[in-house]
Amino acid sequence: MDAQNDGNWGEFTWKICNFTEQKASRVCSEVFMVSGCKWRIVVFPKGNGTNHLSLYVDVPDSATLPKGWSRNAEFSLSVIDQIDNVRTIRYGRQYVFTARQTDWGYKNFIPLTKLRDPTWGYLANDTLVVKAEVSVLKVTPPVNQLARPTHNFDSYFTGLEELINAAGTDGVSAGSSLCHQDGALRAEIPSLEEVEKAMQSLKECLLDLFKLNMKERLSEALSTLSSARTGLTSKQKKAVETFRANFNDFTSDFLTFEQDNAEFELHKLQRDQRFSAMKKSHETHILYKQLMDDLAKEEEEIKRKMEEVKSRRDKLLSNWENLLVESEEAEWGYKDEQKKAAEAEEKKRLAEERMSRSITAWSNLKARFC
């Protein structure tokens, strides 16, 4: 692994040899350091439940970090095309790593078919080259303290907004003391016009902090209002100073809450979808069971009819066998009677011949004497 580290920024290149022979579903790089924080790259060679290469940046020592830790970092992950660097694939984003979400990356980084295609250079000599770039923006101090509850953040926002809105009814004391300051002091202390402009900017930011550039505008407004000598009541001044002193913690807490809430809503939606699918499956199961019961009844009816048909067939076969016996007896009797008839016919012929001779002799005798 090649590494470059420049303060809060680091670039790390990891070469994985014999990539297609990797047996493990999850492969981790060596740990590297950026801004005093430990990081590593996690690769799923066969995909994390998908047919794509999956890549992540991970906090390896999350279990040993103090409660309430967080790291706001910008990072990118790249798969290098070793034939043509122009075709290198790179994705990046900003993310706050916490104890609840210690890694972030891309489940569908590149299709495995494309990764293994030899016309591309992502697996030259069966070696995968992955590069990670990490820029640490903010690290929560490593002290064992409870994370600031989100409702505190909301209460500060609400209290600050109430004080700002009350400014219109309390009145703004536009004293003339500013006009008696010298030039240098006048350059450091905002004018009443700047205070009013900062107050208006603050109101707009309070409507939705995390719109584009809202955090920067809110920080500038708080900075201007904290330096103001006029235009704010003592309660407003105190609220601004309190919020500004905890600005990074509040925004980090709110961002963490937004991410955790988004994760909750996602899982809730997925849970509802799973429940809907489960309910649909149950309804289909009941339908299938009814169909199976109907088929069982049909099977019983068919079985009953088959028994009836078998009984009729057995009876028919029995009658047929009796008929064959009778037929054979009739045939044998016919042949026997036919033979006897032939013998009787021959005897009759011989008797007729003898009787003819007798009649002739009787006639001759009668002719002589009668």
CB atoms within 10 A of CB 61: 14
Q: Decide which of 210, 245, 280 is a domain's last residue.
A: 245
pLDDT at 76 over 90: yes
Identify whether 26 is part of a domain: yes
Average pLDDT for 181-190: 42
Q: What are phi and psi of 230, to 5 degrees?
A: -150, 165
Q: Tell me, what's the pLDDT at 247?
A: 67
* Tens-place pLDDT, residues 61-71: 888 888 889 99
Same domain, 49 and 176: no
Cα 70 from Cα 47, distance rounded (Å): 28
Q: What is the pTM of this model?
A: 0.40
Q: Tell me, what's the pLDDT at 40?
A: 95
Residues whose CB is less than 8 angstroms from the CB of residue 71 and which lie 6 or more positions away in sequence, other chains included: 37, 59, 96, 97, 136, 138, 139, 140
Same domain, 108 and 37: yes
pLDDT at 211 over 70: no
Our count of domains for the chain comes to 2
* Tens-place pLDDT, residues 295-344: 999 988 998 999 889 899 888 988 988 888 888 888 888 888 898 889 88
Same domain, 130 and 22: yes
Q: Decide which of 227, 245, 263 is a domain's last residue.
A: 245
Q: Tell me, what's the pLDDT at 145?
A: 40
Same domain, 132 and 83: yes
**Local confidence band at 153 (pLDDT 50, 70, 90 cut-offs):** very low
Same domain, 185 and 210: yes
* Tens-place pLDDT, residues 88-128: 999 999 999 998 899 999 999 999 999 999 999 999 999 99
Q: Tell me, what's the pLDDT at 223?
A: 73
CA-closest candidate to residue 57, choices 165, 174, 136, 154 = 136
Q: Decide which of 80, 104, 139 is a domain's last residue.
A: 139
What is the residue whose two structure tokens read 């002719």?
367
Q: Tell me, what's the pLDDT at 90?
A: 95
Identify whether 205 is part of a domain: yes
pLDDT at 270 over 60: yes
Q: 222: domain range?
A: 150-245
Same domain, 155 and 26: no
| Pairing mode of beta strands 103-111, 2-6 | unpaired
Share of the chain above pLDDT 70, in %: 76
* Tens-place pLDDT, residues 134-146: 999 999 864 334 3
Same domain, 6 and 51: yes
Q: Tell me, what's the pLDDT at 212?
A: 44
Residues whose CB is less than 8 angstroms from the CB of residue 166 and which lie 6 or more positions away in sequence, other chains included: 233, 236
Same domain, 47 and 83: yes
pLDDT at 167 over 70: no
Same domain, 123 and 165: no
Identify whether 255 is part of a domain: no
**Local confidence band at 352 (pLDDT 50, 70, 90 cut-offs):** confident
